[in-house]
Every structure is written in structure tokens, then in C-alpha cells.
Amino acid sequence: MFARVQKVGTISSLGKVSVGLIIASFAVDIAHGQGNNLFTSSSDTSNTAGVLGSAKRDSTSSGPAYASQLKWYDMFAKIPGDWARYSEGTFRADNIPAILGMAAVTAGLIATDYETWQLEKRWYEQSPPFRTVSDMFVFTGDGKFQFGIVGLFAAYGLAFDDTRALRTASQTTEAILACGVVVQLLKHITGRESPYVSTERTGAWRFFPNQLDYIRHVPNYDAFPSGHIATAMTTLIVISENYPEVKWLRPAGFVALGVISSSLVATGIHWWSDIPLGLALGYSFGELASRSGDLKIAKNSSWSGFRLSMSPVLLTGGAGIGITMSF
């Protein structure tokens, strides 16, 4: 995979979004590769229900036993278990290549954060359509939009006695909260400035900032990692896991994630380097929540085929990072 950020003449809207798609797909590759290693299905996860919204005959990835035992408080009670399983599955010797790969991608993007932000900032300031789209998609990652989706699934499930819709609402809430706590912990540890308030070229990092200062001046400390993109990703994963027969859902969702990522940079809320870890966290917690009744930790995964290489890209009028990954 090769990602390049550059400016050559006039750049189209599709070109602007492509950077987000590349970064999103790379983070998903890492998280999905890790997920395949961490998790193995203990039962058949096929789904034979109808189209989205007509799933009263429930046959889902967590199995009918889980569906029949669904309680309203599961969305809260299962969160500590999600944290424990995430820690157990992530911080292992055989995951070191994935962790180093994520660190390398993040570091490479930090090196070009200022140039890529300035580029998107110009698009935002000079193109009214791009500004309108950016403002709209930033909203879709701020949590309110996702909890609105939760409300729709819950209302449908209650109105039509649809267990799958109710479970989707419960698991989405669980994933957002579990992932959100981890994201907030990292933000409070790293203390990175958002672009629009930055005092240094790629944003100052103030590790373990004074918490009173954090509360008073949140944008000065809460850029890394992106909670917007983590929330959007984890919602997409939970819904797509519960409705696997809706084949267009993930491709369309990944396009939306690319636009959200680009919008967050264009509006100065996040740097590009804030995005990969947010995507990976969202993916992981989405899988943990949606497949909690059907997963076990695999002990013999292998990353022997994993390869990652990176190189800076300096071109007339722009700069970027070249990324090649194979596994």
C-alpha cells in the first residue's frame, strides 16, 4: 500500500478524500490482521436473516443463546471485560510487529502533519462545497450522531420486538463507551494540541498535563488519538457485524470514514497522525463488543509474513509519507 500527500495544481474533491481512505484502510489492515490473530470463532457466525430492518428471525454472530439472554444493563456490565480482553489480546509478544507498525505510521505522519494540515486548510477556506461537506461530516463523528443511531435501533427493536436491533443498540453503546474511555485516557496522557490552537509546527505534546488546565482549555490537549474517528469506526463495525448480509455497509462506511478523517484535518480539529490509532481502537472495540459471545483468544498467531516500509516524499508544492505494507 502506498500513501502520498501532495499538491500539484488543482486537487479534486476525490483527491482530498483519497488520503483518508488510504490511512483508514491501512489502520483497518493492521487491526483486522490483529483481530484475525486474536479472535477465533467458537461457532458458525453466518446470518440468514433478511435485509436491514427485517431481522425478527434472529440468527447472528453472537448466537441465539446470547440473544435470549440480552439484558438492558449488558451495555455497561460488559465494558470491564472488553478492557480486559483488549489488554490480553493486544499486549503480547506476537503483536509487537503490529504495535511497531502503528507507531511507525503515526511517526511518519507526524513528520508531515503541518504540510498536510495547511493543504487541507486551504481547501477548506477556498472551496465552499468542501467546507460544507467537512462541517457536515465532522458532526457525524462527535458521538451525538452515533447515539442517535443507537436510539433508532433501540426504538425499532422495542416497537417490532426485534432482538437483533436491540442487541445492535446495546453493543454499539458498549463499544462507544469502552473505546471512549481508552481514547480519553490516552488524550489525558499525551496532551497534544489540536491544529487550530497549535503553538508548535505539528502541535505541542504536553504529557500528563495539569488536569485543571485540560478542563479549561480542552483543544490544547485532546488531539491524540482521534475520538471522532474511533467512535465512527466502532459504530460501523458493530452494525456491520450484526447485519453481515448488508454487503454495501462496510465499503460505504469506509468511504465515510475517509471523508470524516479529511474533514477533521481540514477543520483543524485533528492532525492526520491522530487518525490511525483512533481507527484501530474503534475497530478493536467494535469487534470485542459485537462478537463478545463468540470469541476466544488464540494463542498461536503468527506475524512472520508482516512487512512494513516507509519513506518520506518531498515534491514541488507538497510533502508526504510513502507507506508499503505486505503480510
Q: What is the pTM of this model?
A: 0.76
From first to last of its 327 residues, what are the pLDDT tens digits of the chain? 333 333 333 333 444 444 444 444 444 444 444 444 444 333 333 332 222 233 333 434 444 444 457 888 999 999 999 999 999 999 999 999 999 999 999 999 999 999 999 999 999 999 999 999 999 999 988 889 999 999 999 999 999 999 999 999 999 999 999 999 999 999 999 999 999 999 999 999 999 999 999 999 999 999 999 999 999 999 999 999 999 999 999 999 999 999 999 999 999 999 999 999 999 999 999 999 998 655 443 444 333 444 444 444 545 455 554 545 444
3-state SS of 83-125 is: HHHHHHHHCCHHHHHHHHHHHHHHHHHHHCHHHHHHHHHHHHH
Cis, peptide link before residue 225, omega less than 30° from 0: yes
Domains in the chain: boundaries:
13-49+59-326
**Complete DSSP assignment for 123-175:** HHHH-HHHHHHHHHHHHTTSSHHHHHHHHHHHHHHHHHT-HHHHHHHHHHHHH
